[in-house]
Structure 1
Amino acid sequence: MTEIITALSQVSDRYDALFVDLWGCVHNGKKAIPSAVEALVAYRQRGGAVILVTNAPRSRHEVAKQLDHFEVPTEAYDDIATSGDSARAAMFRGVVGQKVWFMGQPHDHSFFEPLNMIDDPVDITRVPFEEAEGIVCCGPEDPHAQPDVYRPQLLYAKQKGMKLLCANPDVVVDRGETREFCAGAVAQLYTEMGGESLYFGKPHPPIYDLARRRLAEHRQGVTDAGILAIGDGPATDIRGAMGEDIDSLFITGGLAREETKTSQAPDKNALNDYISKEMINPTFAMGTLA
């Protein structure tokens, strides 16, 4: 049974480290959430380690710049593990070939910058769609358009047997009050059409392996029992934690705020109905990280 709490401090002493989602938990796509920042800073001051685990399709260094812009202080976290870094490592190992067609926005071009995580990286070349061996998807060019606009290209890609590397498994995010589609929505459509999509962010194992490596650089000997995963995505953050056998804290005031009838806190009955529908089992739940 999921326990509803009102403050991270009620349970945080049970854990040595936190794996914390960003969008919807620490910021809203435009600015930091003050109560979340305060809670994470206080947790670190008590001796805990905080690894930010995000499905952002960029490197941890680019995410750190964004956090600075959103006024999330470095005192709130120890390190960052991104879907982008995990997916980039796979790309430079050649999982979708050497000639790739890129789907994304201009700020995603850093995805192709050199990566020092692997030996003997493959030379990756961005090419026109018709010349590509595979697809690298950081997200739709227009995040407000339905992913169906890519159906013609995806049908052609499926017929050619092209793999799609999904740099961000999130399907949607809320930028302030505006909902946007992410790379996961395109990958989901491609899979439904019979194509092969490759995932490296939450809820899939590669990003958790990366998060554990990042954690080990700051704190040795932390077991999975000593980690609490925090996030607002039922299909990414919570299912990912369940798959890794890690306790989780579900932030209901993010993507599921309407379904869980969250104002300050989730409605207990609505939360239970939502958990049952989504087939998830978070250890704890609260409205906003605080």
Structure 2
Amino acid sequence: MTTLSDLAPDYDAVLSDVWGVVHNGVSAHPDAVEALRQFRKGGRRVVLITNAPRAVAPIVDMLDDMRVPRDAYDAVISSGEVTRAMIAPYRGRVIHHIGPPSIDDSLYEGLGVIRGPAEEAEAVVVTDLDTDDDTPDMYEARIAVWLGRRLPLICANPDRVVEHGGRIIYCGGALADLYEAHGGRIRMAGKPYRQIYDEALRLADAAAGRPLARSRILAIGDSVRTDAIGAANAGLDLLFITGSIHAQELDAFGAPDPEAIRALVSPSGARLKGFMPRLAW
């Protein structure tokens, strides 16, 4: 296992995942928060990069509510923020929203889209499943309608699953995967796609006040599908957090097998620099 303090001398900035690394959806991980604060000492920079399907401002509010101090990070970029550019062309037109009815309202703020039924929509926008108890198969009937109308699906949260307290729940990415498997067209801009990384890297450069060498930026995350593949696509090294969505399969808090962790991450192409169950300094 590797701690962030072991790696810190080799990096000028980190792009850290939020859900599963900084908090578990219910409360912050104090050791992770302190690790980011320590990393920032000496002028290093921290950009939080999250697949949360909403704009940045409510994410900062959520971090405040969890008592994550603002001196733990320099900037935040979200999947919701970069996905807004995909929704903007539908101004004045009907889109069909899938997800909690109001929590993700900031995604649409100022875009001028009309939320309506699938039968009238020109696109489906998925933030998450409607409730935390839902599973993707529960949407088969609705998917048939979307397919029948050849609606594109814009997914504002590419995560398949996420840790929420002591549970693993499905996210919007799982529904997008099912729609694509049925032949539907999907679009995503969050991790692991380049749009969100390009913006995160721009924010890191801005926070540092100079262009940073990509070899001096470390990605931190808990998901192979999003964080590891995203780091590989962006040319960044990876610190992998094993104690979240992969905790059970990796025995993260017991006796994890380093070879099993490397075998899990390796297909992503990420340059694995270390792993630990929870981020700590």
Matching residue of 1:221: 211
| Residue aligned with 1:189, SS | helix
Matching residue of 2:25: 29
Opposite residue 230 of structure 2, the aligned amino acid is G
Q: Does 1:102 align with 2:126?
A: no
Runs of 4+, deviation exceeding 4 Å: 276-281
| Residue aligned with 2:264, SS | helix
Give me the whole-angstrom Cα distance separating, in 2, the residues matched to 1:62 and 1:100. Answer: 22
Matching residue of 1:252: 242
| Residue aligned with 1:211, SS | helix
Pick from 231, 238, 251: which aligns with 2:228? 238
Opposite residue 4 of structure 2, the aligned amino acid is L
Give me the whole-angstrom Cα distance separating, in 2, the residues matched to 1:277 and 1:209. Answer: 23
Gaps of 5+ in 2: none
Post-superposition offset of 1:225: 1.3
| Residue aligned with 1:206, SS | helix
Give me the whole-angstrom Cα distance separating, in 2, the residues matched to 1:17 and 1:36. Answer: 15
Give me the whole-angstrom Cα distance separating, in 1, the residues matched to 2:271 and 2:114. Answer: 42
Give me the whole-angstrom Cα distance separating, in 1, the residues matched to 2:106 and 2:35. Answer: 31
Matching residue of 2:82: 86
Whether the aligned pair in 1 keeps the contact of 2:26 and 2:165 (CA below 8 Å) is yes
Deviations 1:98-151 (A, max 9, x none): 31001111211221112xxxxxx6x31111221000001101112221111111
Deviates most, 152-161 or 234-243 = 152-161
Task: Give the number of aligned pairs.
Answer: 278
Is the alpha carbon distance of 1:133 and 1:231 closer, same or farther for their aligned partners in structure 2, counting shifts above 3 Å? Answer: same
Identity score, percent: 37
Root mean square deviation of aligned Cα: 1.8
Matching residue of 1:111: 107
Gaps of 5+ in 1: 115-120
TM-score by length of structure 1 reads 0.91
Matching residue of 1:143: 132
Whether the aligned pair in 1 keeps the contact of 2:83 and 2:189 (CA below 8 Å) is yes
Give me the whole-angstrom Cα distance separating, in 1, the residues matched to 2:71 and 2:134. Answer: 37
Give me the whole-angstrom Cα distance separating, in 2, the residues matched to 1:53 and 1:259. Answer: 25
Whether the aligned pair in 2 keeps the contact of 1:103 and 1:139 (CA below 8 Å) is yes
| Residue aligned with 1:249, SS | strand
Post-superposition offset of 1:9: 0.8
Matching residue of 1:161: 150
TM-score by length of structure 2 reads 0.93
Whether the aligned pair in 2 keeps the contact of 1:265 and 1:288 (CA below 8 Å) is no
Opposite residue 180 of structure 1, the aligned amino acid is I
Opposite residue 217 of structure 2, the aligned amino acid is I
